[in-house]
Amino acid sequence: MQIRPYRPQQDYRDVLNAQCDLYKINFPKFVCTPAFLADQAQRLRAAARRPFENGIFVLEDGLDFAGFVWVALRMDLQGTYGSIDQVYLREPYRRRGFGKLLMQAAHDFIRKQGITTARLYVTADNTDAVHLYEREGYHTTRLEMERTL
Ligand SMILES: CC(C)(COP(=O)(O)OP(=O)(O)OC[C@H]1O[C@@H](n2cnc3c(N)ncnc32)[C@H](O)[C@@H]1OP(=O)(O)O)[C@@H](O)C(=O)NCCC(=O)NCCS
């Protein structure tokens, strides 16, 4: 297994193909439409043109695509931070410790840009993701709350 930077020519299709699965897992009412995929494709192409602001790293198993992480540098009222926007392993690669490799690649990228805060959003009942992030030192700073009416 190895982690390497995203190569648009080679990885574009694999990262795009993962988008529907990633969103379906995290948003139960999500419907994957051609318009959504077109938006994601455009985001991905834009990110690849800005490699200092967007770190995308691919986990490879030989020649097979196993997963990826996508981190973007952002600034808001709380200052500058690395936003871990997407962490994804294909099903056969989950629960084997590879999530940690993806997180390390994201953290290295953020540190190299001189930034000391990493932040992410996660669906509360995505327990595999929540456990990974907690093991990686994340704690809750804000809560999104909802109720049924
Ligand atoms: C979120 C995701 C990346 C987490 O990956 P993961 O495989 O669960 O995380 P790890 O690779 O760190 O694996 C850790 C789990 O595997 C277990 N494990 C089994 N063998 C292991 C090994 N050799 N080394 C380390 N952990 C191992 C650990 O005990 C741990 O289980 P626990 O959470 O019950 O403690 C993965 O589930 C995924 O891609 N999900 C779909 C996409 C998604 O929802 N992404 C998150 C969006 S916010």
- Domains (ranges, CATH) in the chain? 2-135 (3.40.630.30)
44 lines ligand 1 (CB under 6 A): no
pLDDT at 130 over 90: yes
* Mean pLDDT along residues 20-45: 95
66 lines ligand 1 (CB under 6 A): no
pLDDT at 136 over 90: yes
Burial class (CB within 10 angstroms; exposed 0-12, middle 13-18, buried 19+) of 104: middle
Helices (H), ranges, 27-137: 34-48, 98-112, 127-135
Give residue 97 CA to ligand 1 midpoint distance, Å: 6
128 lines ligand 1 (CB under 6 A): yes
Ligand 1 atom, smallest distance to 123 CA: 48
Could you tell me the pLDDT band of residue 66, with boundaries at 50, 70 and 90? Answer: very high
Could you tell me the pLDDT band of residue 120, with boundaries at 50, 70 and 90? Answer: very high
**Whole-number pLDDT of residue 50:** 94
Q: How far apart are the first and last CA of the chain?
A: 48
What's this model's pTM, rounded to 2 decimal places?
Answer: 0.94
**Whole-number pLDDT of residue 78:** 85
Give residue 88 CA to ligand 1 midpoint distance, Å: 10
88 lines ligand 1 (CB under 6 A): yes
